[in-house]
Structure 1
Amino acid sequence: MEPRNNPNPASGDDTEIVSRRIERLSLHLNPIPRTLPDGDRQIGMATCARPKLEVDTGKLSGYMRGPHRDVQEKVFEYFESRPELQTPLEISKNDHRELCWRQLVGLVREAGIKPFRYVADDPAKYFAILEAIGSVDMSLGIKMGVQYSFPLYICYVVCSLWGGSVINLGTQKHKDKYFDGIDNLDYPGCFAMTELHHGSNVQALQTTATFDPITDEFIINTPNDGAIKWWIGNAAVHGKFASVFARLMLPSHDPKAVSDMGVHAFIVPIRHLDTHETLPGVEIHDCGQKVGLNGVDNGALRFNSVRIPRDNLLNRFGDVSRDGKYTSSLPTVNKRFAATLGELVGGRVGLAYSSVAVLKLAGTIAIRYSLLRQQFGPPSKPEVSILDYQSHQHKLMPMLASTYAFHFATSYLVEKYAEMKRTHDEQLVGDVHALSAGLKAYVTSYTARSLNVCRESCGGHGYAAVNRFGTLRNDHDIFQTFEGDNTVLLQQVAGDLLKRYQEKFQGGALTVTWNYLRESMNSYLSQPNPVTARWEGEDHLRDPKFQLDAFRYRTSRLLQSVAVRLRKHSTTLGGFGAWNRCLNHLLTLAESHIETVILAKFIEAVQNCPDPSARSALKLVCDLYALDRIWNDIGTYRNVDYVAPNKAKAIHKLAEYLSFQVRNVARELVDAFDLPDNVTRAPIAMQSGAYSQYTNYVGF
């Protein structure tokens, strides 16, 4: 039988087939070392010197940026034409807030870029605008999201959004009344969900909205200090409305009691439209200076018997009639809550997508500088670029490969989100919910670590504020916390995986993202083939099937083993105790699954690329991403004999060599991100005259 994973199926007559198999098996069991051109190291695979890839940067960039490139360039061109609106390096909190508002007003009213129109109709275009604006100033990107975007629920900081809640949680009457005012910035608002004592546990929010049938109004109250709405973006200075999440309370037959219908959203005016004065019963305070994103005016809100019309209930999933009767198409509090949060998943999509934009920007600065900066070299020879050093390649090239991988994975997520909004398919809703949670957690954590790597890779010049790493790092840092702490989100992914695992054995269907688990139960968990485990040829290691099988095998083993552990511990510790006992295992499972999805989408993107030179470059980068990840977790594969020692060594050496190959086209790869100098704005990353611009900045 042909061994599984054979990268070169035999052809020709039977004798030739048998001879080739015997020869190949002999080579696998007794590999012949091949010597690299420099003669100073050996590698057990057929790697040889090869010419540098010729990459058509324009075609690669066109494939990367897709159909919404024009609107991004319109954003860049607007800010290049308005230097007074570009954020200076040193700016006070209050000045930054006012500048951020002027930037947003300029985009909407002068440049004619109105993102709100794309929130429901063309989410991909909205996210493209968000990416471009965030590259100009991350505070501006968040400010735009606060006003227009998909709500980012479970938010500890900043990204509490207004316009998307009206569209997604309200009905036609709300759209008719508020859409134009939100769109043209006449109705600036905020999204008041998070409370001082509750972030992730939204069902435990304490703010109340009690219906008064006599006046046909809801009364909004903050019952205690723990219920103060906290970190509400746009509240401290500019907001005039708030989407307030509160418990909907209805009078009951007992005059001393009320019926709690669960958490709902309400439109609450907080400032006068003309005078901008705070309205009666509303108390607003400034959350003050933050670690980053100080262009966003985060505030705290307290409500004391604030009355609003009954129509201000965002009533898509539950309504109250004039006589105080509650109606809903969903029968329980939990189902209504799940439906409400399901409509808010777009925030995670936006965070994951925006985090990749930050990684592109930081990587562009670090790699361009590393190509420019020369340091040491052979005796009596010119100094060499610091990116020629293997240690520097080890830092930056896998990161560059990951950036490409994340780009295609988050682009896929945007596509699935748009499809979900269009079709309202229930299976797709669950799929996007889990995938967005996992990608948001994984990508933002990776970007946060990489920002430090980029800073360190640029030495002392990376420490200069003008070269932006400090600002990028501080502004992005909160991405790991809002929209749900990353650890919490990874637990959601693990929980969904376990649910799918259980459904598999009960005959349930698996949605698109999880299809490989069906096969994994039959093949990925079978005993590793001792012959396959030793294959170390480059063709085999760069075969997408081997790479994807390895990722899927790891996830399948983690899923099966944690399911067994949870069953074991639940008998003595109960469900919560068992989960906590296995928590690190569950987080590793979630990360492994997300890496698997990322690789699968990257492989698809390589195969679908129409230009041969761009496709070759993407294949190189994809192979580095896959093999670097396998090597980073090589202990897992070795422990179960999925990879023999000789194969592990070959994976390591090939990953190092691929880093060298990627280094040779690193300039073209970052140029394909198509970030002009007026967007990168770091002197050390300028495509020409970098040092002269740097010295000019300090006054020479």
Structure 2
Amino acid sequence: MKGKYREIQEKVFDYLNSRPELVTPVEISMKEHRELCMRQLLGLVREAGIRPFRYCIEDPQKYFAIIEAVGSVDISLAIKMGVQFSLWGGSVINLGTKKHKEKYFDGIDNLEYMGCFAMTELHHGSNVQGLQTVATFDPITDEFIIDTPNDGAIKWWIGNAAVHGKFATVFSRLILPTHDKEGISDMGVHAFIVPIRDLKTHQILPGIEIHDCGHKIGLNGVDNGALRFSSVRIPRDNLLNRFGDVSRDGKYTSSLPTINKRFAATLGELVGGRVSLASSSASVLKVAATIAIRYSLLRQQFGPPKQPELSILDYQSHQHKLMPMLASTYAFHFATLHLVEMYSQMKKSHDELLVGDVHALSAGLKAYVTSYTAKSLSICREACGGHGYAAVNQFGSLRNDHDIFQTFEGDNTVLLQQVAVDLLKQYQEKFQGGTLAVTWNYLRESMKAYLSQPNPVTARWEGEDHLRDPKFQLDAFRYRTSRLLHSVAVRLRKHSKTLGGFGAWNRCLNHLLTLAESHIESVILVKFVEAVQSCPDASNRASLKLVCDLYALDRIWNDIGTYRNVDYVAPNKAKAIHKLSEYLSFQVRSIAKELVDAFDLPDRIIRAPIAMQSEAYAQYTQRVGF
């Protein structure tokens, strides 16, 4: 599965492999880990000559490939790199204008200007429009005054703030001192560049209070801090003014007419973080699956009397744990690859339909993939028994470092609601004769189907050829999504009459989350089927088809109650789906080694002794002193 950017990834691996003092040890203090992460980042940029910031802007696919490689070495390093280039750097470039790029680009690129992305507050995280930090314009001095009005507005969990950051992009409410004719002076949330430490002495600047958020469950190589501002003055030019500007005489101008449109445009430019997390999470799952499957092939336990012990992966229970997960890992690989390609196209074309599509798909994939990976990491640990519990075998650090992926760049529950909102908009568009965005095209085909009764003949078909037919699989996924969409639209309409819009949404919230997950599973399957069909090598195509069928049937079986409730699947067909899923897991087991080897993760990157491709036990025992 070597991608076209494998060369740059090898450059990352080779550099870190040539500098063993930069490899993150199993046991390391928080302070040491933070300094090591900074040295790793400096080494990659200044010694190895890898300049992610340039790719972040010019070639996003190459940037995400670097993040994937770095994350397989140390997730803390990937996050620190993302904070510097994607969040801090990306906010300056995407929300600012030419003057900001000219002033800050080189310093961000060469790490002279280490920076932070100060959006989240103690009291507000996901509800960005509710942020309370204020930036009040002073027309006398031509400055903005940044203030933290109360403890709830303290910027919290800000990466790079506690130790290394020199600047912060601070998201604040822009307040004008004079009211317009409607009496409104709050222009909504805008982004401002605020210096937080002296460039030469690294001393914290006046009016700024910084505290360390301290030891975390994971990612302790990232120096998260809390920031409070007390009448901090910055030049008017420090407003990142792409979507809204203030003139010397205090007049506000914007090409976008409302606060909501400006806010949507601002957040739309920051969607790269979600794309990166979805892709990185899939990469973490590749590492975990590789370790668990290689060890499960190596470890032998029990067996028929007077015969050699069996590999634990030969047990059906173990196949049930790991083979559908391996299939999902492949499914996520193709889906996130598609997302990265779409994001790259969006950055080049600025096509409005594509912008909306990437926003919804990145929200959904980030939520779905990170939630699935978080659960799978525990299953992988369990599948390796006691040896999975040894820190040297990586599951602990992978699980702890990845866990926060479910929360930052948008809490998963909130992101899934964004997907549901988009689906409902598309549903309305369909009945008003509007244009559907690319991702939702299947609604054209299935919108009529869910209004009719399931076909009682096909509901009973249980032959293997039928169940492994991508048309049946895709129809089943789409039918479920379309039915969920129709039924929740009806419920929302009904409840809004008595509960109002917000109350109706809350009453239907679990239904809406299920709808969003169902839709994302449909998109993932579409991308997997396309990857199978476009695979040029017949043998590889057959293997991929096997894995794709397992993914599809396992997901259908996982929600078989829904299909049974609406008679989409008859009892005999449900049994056949379950039986075939188990058989496909058995078949995938026979090529499991080749499937994880195809991830092409070198031993020096995997690092878990139990996953080494040769002399695993010898390497494991050496780690503890034998």
Q: TM-score range by the shorter chain?
A: over 0.9
> How many angstroms apart in 2 are the aligned matches of 1:524 and 1:664?
38
Q: Choose from 555, 569, 583 the match for 1:657.
A: 583
Cα distance in 2, alignment partners of residues 313 and 474 from structure 1: 36
User: Does the CA-based 8 Å contact 1:438-1:590 persist in structure 2?
Assistant: yes
**Secondary structure at 2:310 match in 1:** coil
SS at match of 1:209: strand
> Which runs of 5 or more structure 2 residues have no equivalent in the other structure?
none
Q: Which residue is 1:391 aligned to?
A: 317
Would you say how many aligned residue pairs link Structure 1 and Structure 2?
Answer: 624
User: Which residue in the other structure is 1:140 paired with?
Assistant: 77
Supply the distance in 1 between the matched residues of 2:276 and 2:289 (Cα, whole angstroms): 20
Q: In the alignment, is residue 369 of structure 1 matched against residue 306 of structure 2?
A: no
Which of 148, 162, 182 is 1:222 aligned to? 148
Q: Name the structure 2 match of 1:497.
A: 423
Counterpart in the other structure of 1:472: 398
1:123 and 2:73 correspond: no
Q: CA deviation at 1:66?
A: 2.0
Whole-Å Cα distance in 2 between the matches of residues 539 and 632 of structure 1?
20
Distance 1:525 1:259 in 2: 49
Native 8 Å contact 2:364 2:419 kept in 1: yes
In the superposition, relative to structure 1, how do residues 101 and 572 fare at CA in structure 2: closer, same or farther (>3 Å)?
Answer: same
User: Which residue does the alignment assign to 1:411?
Assistant: 337
The equivalent residue for 1:191 is 117
Question: What are the Cα deviations for residues 220-245 of structure 1, in whole angstroms up to 9, with x where unaligned?
Answer: 11111111110000000000000001
Which residue, out of 171, 177, 195, partners 1:269? 195
- Counterpart amino acid of residue 355 in structure 1: S
How far did residue 525 of structure 1 move?
3.8
**Residue identity matched to 2:54:** R
Query: In the TM superposition, what is the alpha-carbon distance from 1:530 to its structure 2 partner?
Result: 1.4
Task: Tell me, in whole angstroms, the C-alpha distance in 2 between the residues paired with 1:336 and 1:191.
Answer: 19
- Do 1:239 and 1:271's aligned partners in 2 also have CA atoms closer than 8 Å? yes
> What amino acid is aligned across from residue 141 of structure 1 in structure 2?
A
Q: Distance in 1 between matches of 2:184 and 2:229?
A: 19
In structure 1, distance between residues paired with 2:26 and 2:550: 36
Q: Give me the identity figure in percent.
A: 84
In structure 2, the residue matched to 1:613 is 539
Aligned mates of 2:71, 2:179 — CA distance in 1: 52
Structural mapping, 1:241-640, within 5 Å: 241-252=167-178, 259-640=185-566
Pick the structure with greater CA Rg: 1
Does the 8 A contact of 1:249 with 1:258 survive in 2?
Answer: no
Aligned to 1:15: none
Q: In structure 2, what residue type is equivalent to 1:453?
A: I
8 Å Cα contact 1:363-1:454 kept in structure 2: yes
- CA–CA distance in structure 2, aligned partners of residues 323 and 495 of structure 1: 40
Going from structure 1 to structure 2, the CA distance change for 1:393 and 1:426 (only over 3 Å counts) comes to same
Q: What is aligned with 2:45? A: 108
TM-score, normalization: structure 2?
A: 0.99
Q: Deviations over 1:564-587 (max 9, x none)?
A: 111111111111111111111111
Q: Which among 66, 88, 103 is matched to residue 177 of structure 1?
A: 103
CA distance, structure 2, for counterparts of residue 265 and residue 566 of structure 1: 35
More off after superposition, 579-588 vs 525-534: 525-534
Distance in 2, matches of 1:102 and 1:372, equals 36
User: What's the CA shift string for 1:489-511, capped at 9, x where partnerless?
Assistant: 11111111111111111111101
CA distance in 2, matches of 1:588, 1:524: 17
Cα pair 2:175 2:186 within 8 Å, conserved: yes
Shift of residue 319 of structure 1? Answer: 0.7
**How far off is 1:526 after superposition?**
2.5
- Which residue identity lines up with residue 147 of structure 1 in the other structure? Q
Asked if the contact 1:524–1:549 (Cα under 8 Å) also holds between the matched residues in 2, the reply is: no
One-letter amino acid of the counterpart of residue 233, structure 1: G
Contact 2:179 2:185 in 1 (8 A): no
Residues 285-335 of structure 1 deviation map (CA, whole Å, 9 limit, x = unaligned): 100000000000000001111111111110000111111111110011111
Mark the CA change 1:253 to 1:195 in structure 2 (over 3 Å): closer, same or farther.
closer
Q: Which amino acid aligns with 1:611?
A: D
Q: Is the 8 A contact 2:133 2:148 kept in 1?
A: yes
Q: Matches of 2:357 and 2:132 in 1, distance apart?
A: 30
- Kindly state the Cα deviation for residue 523 of structure 1 after the two structures are TM-superposed: 2.9
Larger RCO (alpha carbons 8 Å, 6+ apart): 1
CA offsets, 1:48-89, max 9 Å, x none? xxxxxxxxxxxxx2xxx3210111111111111111000001
Shift of the alpha carbon at 1:639? 1.3
- d(CA) in 2 for partners of 1:375, 1:598: 36
Give deviations 1:18-71, integer Å, cap 9, x for gaps.
xxxxxxxxxxxxxxxxxxxxxxxxxxxxxxxxxxxxxxxxxxx2xxx3210111
The answer as to whether partners of 2:196 and 2:204 remain within 8 angstroms in 1 is: yes
1:90 lines up with 2:19 in the alignment: no
Q: Could you say what secondary structure the match of 2:619 adopts?
A: helix
In 2, are the aligned partners of 1:352 and 1:443 still within 8 Å (CA)?
yes
Tell me the SS of whatever aligns to 1:251: coil
Give the distance between the partners of 1:446 and 1:262, measured in 2 at CA: 35
Tell me whether 563-572 or 662-671 shows the greater mean CA deviation. 563-572
Q: Aligned partners of 1:72, 1:286: CA distance in 2, in Å?
A: 33
Q: CA deviation at 1:615?
A: 1.2
The AA in structure 2 aligned to 1:574 is G
**Paired position in structure 2 for 1:66:** 3
Residue by residue, what CA displacement relative to the aligned partner does 1:399-447 show, whole Å, maximum 9, x if unpaired?
0000000010011011111111111111111111111111010000000
Q: RMSD of aligned C-alpha atoms? A: 1.0
Q: 1:77 aligns with which of 14, 34, 41?
A: 14
Once the two structures are superposed, residues 450-490 of structure 1 have per-residue CA deviations (whole angstroms, 9 ceiling, x without a partner) of 00000000000001111010110000000011111111111
Q: Deviations over 1:603-661 (max 9, x none)?
A: 00111111222111111100000001111111111111111111111111111111011
Matched to 1:281, the amino acid is: G
CA contact (8 A) 2:218 2:400 kept: yes
> What is the letter of the counterpart of residue 101 of structure 1?
M
Between the aligned partners of 2:516 and 2:264, the Cα distance in structure 1 is 21
| Post-superposition CA distance 1:132-179 (Å, at most 9, x none) | 000000000000001001xxxxxxxxxxx2111001100111001100
Shift of 1:524: 4.5
Structure 1 segments unaligned to the other structure (5+ residues): 1-60, 150-160
Deviation of the 1:258 alpha carbon: 7.5
Counterpart secondary structure, 1:67? coil
2:4 aligned partner, one-letter code: P
Q: Which amino acid aligns with 2:176?
A: L
1:460 aligned partner, one-letter code: G
Most deviating of 648-657 and 137-146: 648-657
Q: Distance in 2 between the 1:376 and 1:332 partners?
A: 68
Q: CA deviation at 1:543?
A: 0.6
TM-score by length of 1: 0.88
Q: 1: CA distance between counterparts of 2:229 and 2:564?
A: 59
Q: Secondary structure at the match of 1:419?
A: helix
CA shift in 2, pair 1:525/1:543, >3 Å: farther
What does the per-residue CA deviation read over 1:191-248, in whole Å, with 9 as the maximum and x for residues that have no partner?
Answer: 1011111101111111111111111111111111111110000000000000001111
